Structure 1
């Protein structure tokens, strides 16, 4: 039960122009997401969310309001402890988004 209380998620972002996928670490001064590679050594910099918190709703409302090009980025929520592994899977799936709609 203690493990479930400690579960955290991170926010993964895909730049729709370049196809680059990375983890969000915050916001840049211009309102765009500050992105970093999903590597274990960067884990402390990831923007993390407690799964049992209501903060996420407020975050998204503010984030989309501040982001100047919201249609440029695709966001994906993944488990923090598996972000480095899941990014490769997401990259493969997004190479053919129409073929992988399921």
Structure 2
């Protein structure tokens, strides 16, 4: 069994200065933890793989294609491959998101 303790995973920053931790990297899946401070956003972009966003904490705005929704804790959002998506912390607290990419885009 493999157990990942997120606090022990090396912290880095995206080019947009958002805290990121690459939690799990396997052939068929990549799991990334993002922590947005108030006002931070990951602008509209596409990926070549399907992406699931699980909201761990806080509230934020998620865009997938031409749809936009304010989402909160314990909600999951699906973004199909090649469809633009974006995330934004529109609140006053932290917005924490677990991102699951399948298959792993780094192993394609």
TM-score, with structure 1 as normaliser: 0.28
Which protein is richer in helix relative to its size?
1
